[in-house]
Chain A
Amino acid sequence: MNHLSMKKIAAALLLLAVCATSGLAADNSLKLVSKAEKEVTVTRDGKKEAKLVPVEKALPGEVVLFTNHYTNTGSTPAEEAAITNPVPQHMVYVDGSAFGAGTTITFSVDKGKTFDLPANLTKTVKGKKRPARADEYTNIRWTFTSPLPPGKEGDVGFKARLK
């Protein structure tokens, strides 16, 4: 293969990539719906039970449950899927609260530049490296361990406390 043909192939690949992006913008097959809820205690038939209610207002110190509901609305499997969610401003992640079936959950302490398992995360303060605390997590990522077939839906989520 000579030098010229290499260039041609590269150009062709680039074109393909552009087409792929523009083509998909209209055809997103993974749908993501977020909601925020908090736990309240209600009395029903004389029994106290915890219930989740939508939250629009919160007080400092309150814990909010954020849930992202995903659905593959397309006709092909979504592969190498991952959902990321920044910990909202003015809030701190509640340790151990992230959940998501069929996912590996990793966290970032550098605003989403890098992600890792909690045990591997470190924070450098005044030149000293130490394990990162949960309240220092800035972003959460759920990486699906297998492709999501058409019609597949589920929830991933976490809790955060308002500062």
Chain B
Amino acid sequence: MKKLYSLFGAVAVVLACAGGAHAKGTAAGTLISDKATANFTIGTQAATATSNTVTITVAQIVNVTVSWLDGSNVAVASPSTNQVLTFKVTNTGNGPDTFALGVNDSVAGGNFNPTAATQTFWVDTNGDGKFDAGDTQVVAPIPLNADQSATVFVLNNIPSGQADGNTGISQLLATSSFGPGAVGQVKTGAGTGGVDVVLAILNGQGTANGIYQVNGVVLTINKSSAVKDPYNGTEPVPGATITYTLQVSVSGSGTAKGVTITDPLPANITYKSGTLTLNGTTLTDVKDADTGDVGGTTPNAVTVTLGDLTSASGTKTITFQVTIN
């Protein structure tokens, strides 16, 4: 009777674990039982017979998926240090496992080889998907339950002398504690609770490549001025009007993100109301829905927000007028 109780206890625990591992198959260690019943009559008497119970233990599948999350090449400068690639490591097996991380920076297909930073691997401890102060350096294999995943940051240094647009590849490797071995290899009794383990992926290892791209961005602003005095001349005398023209453009392969031009107004001049334009279109002087204002965002300054600019954006022209006091 005591034995029976302990058996029931084990079943209950296993079922509780099984709940967490729905997507990738029944949890390792789950007990599957089968029992048949026969109903019949002998003469007029109803009778029942039951079979023995067949029990099958679910073995452990080892599998892992690594994916690169950045979505597009990660822009870097040449040279630079501690450049971040973001990966996701998922335990796609049906039991708990730990995964050792490794990096291969000699992958063919890029223009240069990155080199692993001194503190290469980090896990997104605070769960915000970004490499920041709340994250933890990985110093031991990371434990993952079935279906669980971890966001991993890989830090590399970028060599000097790389031309704009050059790419470098860094490969993250996550290796199961049950590796190495061929697909289908059985490790008898090696799994959680003594179940058999089967490798569903070569060496229990998943990989993904991340790509860096040297991304030169040069933002150029040309400022010019034209003076018109009250006597139809070009002398900067009191009462003369100065028209300032700012021409903004980007060159190189990269994107200048969130460009805002702020131009402080000099002393002894007065901004001439209603003269601020962007690409020939007048912008109101107050801070509102349009992209420019005078003195609203920054006191005594012209502010125009241009947003993300690439070499394809062309030249943005800002003009405004002031009068000399």
Contact B56 A64 (CB under 8 A): yes
Distance in angstroms from A144 CB to nearest chain B CB is 8
CB-defined A-B contacts under 8 Å, sample of 10 = A20-B45, A28-B49, A32-B37, A58-B56, A59-B25, A64-B56, A78-B41, A81-B41, A84-B36, A162-B56
Chain B interface residue count, CB cutoff 8 Å, equals: 38
Q: What would 8 more interface pairs be, CB under 8 Å, given A58-B57, A85-B35?
A: A30-B47, A32-B51, A35-B54, A59-B59, A68-B36, A79-B40, A82-B40, A162-B56
Contact A60 B61 (CB under 8 A): yes
Q: Which residues of B contact A (CB under 8 A)?
A: 18, 24-26, 30, 32-59, 61, 94, 195-196, 198
A3-11, A44-52, A87-95, A124-132: which one contacts chain B?
A87-95
Contact of B42 among A59, A76, A88 (CB under 8 A): A76
Contact of B40 among A58, A80, A86 (CB under 8 A): A80
Q: Please classify the interface of chain B as helix (H, G, I), strand (E, B), loop, or mixed, using the class held by over half of its residues.
A: strand
Can you name the residue of chain A whose Cβ is closest to the Cβ of B61? A59
Distance in angstroms from A128 CB to nearest chain B CB is 25
Output the residue of A31, A33, A58, A70 with the most chain B CB within 10 A. Answer: A58
CB within 8 Å for A162 and B34 given contacts A78-B40, A78-B41, A79-B41: no
Contact B40 A85 (CB under 8 A): no
Contact of A36 among B37, B56, B59, B196 (CB under 8 A): B56
Contact A68 B43 (CB under 8 A): no
Contact A84 B39 (CB under 8 A): yes
In the complex, A102 has a CB within 8 A of chain B: no
CB within 8 Å for A90 and B47 given contacts A64-B56, A162-B26, A163-B25: no
Contact B195 A57 (CB under 8 A): yes
Query: In the complex, what residues of A have CB within 8 A of residue B39's CB?
Result: 80-84
Query: Once bound together, how far apart are the Cα atoms of A20 and B45, in whole Å?
Result: 6
